[in-house]
Amino acid sequence: MKNSHNATRFLRNWLTLAAIILLSTACNNDQEANIGPDTNNATSQICENVRGAEAIFWDLSNGIPRTDLPGFVPPTIKAPGGTFFHPDFPPLSFEHPTGYYTQTIRAPQSAGVNLIRQDNRVIWRWLSVTSTGFPSAREVRQAEIRQMLQFLGVDDNNIQLICLNEGQINPGPNITTRSSVALIRAGEFTALVSAQVSALETIPTSSIAIRMSVGPTAEFDQLIFDTFLAIEFQLLYGPDGTIEDRDGDGTPDPQDKFPDDPTRQ
pLDDT value at 114 more than 90: yes
Q: Residue range 83-112: average pLDDT?
A: 94
State the Cα–Cα distance between residues 239 and 43, nearest whole angstrom.
Answer: 33
Name all contacts of 108-111 with Cβ < 8 Å and 24+ positions apart: 108/3, 109/3, 110/3, 111/3, 111/4, 111/7, 111/86
Q: Dihedrals φ, ψ of 224, to 5°? A: -55, -50
Q: Which of 34, 93, 51 is nearest to 235 (CA)?
A: 93
9-65, pLDDT tens digit by residue? 444 444 443 444 443 433 333 333 333 467 888 999 999 999 999 999 999 999 898
Higher-scoring residue by pLDDT: 7, 49: 49
Coil vs helix vs strand at 109: coil
- Across the chain, mean pLDDT equals 81
* Whole-structure pTM value: 0.79
State the Cα–Cα distance between residues 220 and 190, nearest whole angstrom.
Answer: 7
What angle, 0 to 180 degrees and rounded to 10, lies between the N-to-C axes of helices 2-25 and 53-61?
A: 130
Burial letters 101-127, b for 16+ CB under 10 A, else e? ebeebeeeebbbbbbbbeeeebbbbbb
8 Å CB contact between 252 and 244: yes
State the Cα–Cα distance between residues 185 and 192, nearest whole angstrom.
Answer: 9
pLDDT value at 4 more than 90: no
Confidence band, pLDDT 50/70/90 cuts, at residue 157: confident
8 Å CB contact between 214 and 162: no
Q: Is 176 exposed, middle or buried (0-12, 13-18, 19+ CB in 10 A)?
A: middle
Amino acid identity at 220 = F
Coil vs helix vs strand at 89: coil
